[in-house]
Amino acid sequence: MDAQALADSLPDGVVVADADQQVELVSAPAARMLGVTPEEAVGRPLAEVLALRDQDGRAWVACNTPYAGLATRTGVPEQSWLLPDGTEVLVAARLHRDGVHQPVRRVAVTLRSGRGRARLDRERSDLVATVAHELRSPLTGVKGFVQALLNRWDKLNDDQKKLMLTTVSADADRLSRLIAELLDVARIDTGRLQLYPRPSDAAVLVTRIVESVQAGTARAVELVVDPHGDGLPTVHVDPDKFTQVVTNLVENGVRHGDGSVRVLVEAVAPGHETDPPGVRVTVDDEGEGIPEEMRRRVFTKFWKGGARGGSGLGLYLVHGLVRAHGGTVTIADAPGGGARLVTTWPSEDRRQE
């Protein structure tokens, strides 16, 4: 394979110039970015072919002077530049010398699309905006009630003080939960999520969750455990993460659905075609449901259904935590027309599968 064919096979664009600053090679990806053909670019000055500008209109060659500067330079670090059509590219260069303090005999420049970095920047901006928005409301509540207690302590009766402190405690719990979600998101993204699974009683855990959610809403939350009387096996889960997942699902049904929410806990028979032996937890609501074409997006970060708020991280965490246990999570239509979210939890350790 010759040099041109090899350069054309690379994912990034490559431009190579000789000691006289004349272009020796332009790969096909680089040619497409720069709006030239490889054949017509060869032999032209590097400054003409590498038609890159910064936000102030300055040229890459003029700013970085690859053939001048310190005689010990070996490269130009990656920088963001604009193509002739205004598209961002990330540009780096390698300066080849025959020895230290020798003149540059060849410059190899790489051009990489900036779309990946732009997407990452957008995700980071979305995360910052989400965190700021979600933190503002409970912090405002905490500050307001604490200030009122400090200013009017002697004028408030015990019941009023208790109500304010209870509200402050609830807002603090909300903040703690959001912070825990953000930490789990980071751990899932980096593959550093730690689980501490042990045999657990799913019925006991789900009952506690439903009672807790029911205490904070006027909506009816119905719990059905082992309707067929088959008996529930223990599940091999991290109880805290299991509670986090099921709480997210039940609260999601309360927040985004209408009418009542139904939670079903039943055994998964050994030998089931798709689900591992263990326990299935199904949460149905009576809302509008989730259209089939949207279901692939539900488990992505910052997805929000409806206009009732939330961080947009809940179902992303649900998917990541369930999969980390070796279980499954699916979306379907509930019998009442709402959304049905089904999670399965294995009775054995399946984290490596």
**Predicted pLDDT at 353:** 47
Return the structure tokens found at 170: 């609830």
Domains of the chain: 3-113 (3.30.450.20), 117-190 (1.10.287.130), 198-346 (3.30.565.10)
**Predicted pLDDT at 203:** 94
Backbone angles phi, psi at 154, to 5 degrees: -70, -20
Backbone angles phi, psi at 54, to 5 degrees: -95, -170
Q: Which residues are within 8 A (CB) of 265 and not within 5 positions of it... i.e. 6 or more apart?
A: 202, 203, 206, 223, 224, 225, 226, 232, 279, 280, 281
Q: What is the DSSP letter of 345?
A: E
254-285 pLDDT tens trace: 887 778 899 999 998 765 556 668 999 999 99
Return the structure tokens found at 192: 């550093």
Backbone angles phi, psi at 116, to 5 degrees: -65, -45
Backbone angles phi, psi at 161, to 5 degrees: -65, -40
**Predicted pLDDT at 271:** 58
**Predicted pLDDT at 302:** 65
**Predicted pLDDT at 117:** 67
Claim: this prediction has a pTM higher than 0.95: no
CA distances from 190 to 177, 183, 186, 353 (A): 20, 11, 6, 18
**Predicted pLDDT at 70:** 85
To the nearest 10 degrees (0 to 180), the angle between helices 239-256 and 314-324 is 150
User: Do residues 256 and 305 lie in contact, with contact meaning Cβ atoms separated by under 8 Å?
Assistant: yes
The rounded mean pLDDT for the chain is 86
**Predicted pLDDT at 240:** 92
Task: Read off the amino acid at residue 352.
Answer: Q
pLDDT-flagged residues of the chain (< 50)? 307, 353
Question: Pairing between strand 221-225 and 261-268?
Answer: parallel
Tell me which residue of 82, 107, 117 sits closest to 20, measured CA to CA: 107
Q: Dihedral (C-alpha) 240, 246, 249, 251: value to the nearest 10 degrees?
A: -70
Distance CA 260, CA 262 (A): 7
Backbone angles phi, psi at 112, to 5 degrees: -125, 135
**Predicted pLDDT at 303:** 67
Tell me which residue of 248, 271, 256 sits closest to 343, measured CA to CA: 248
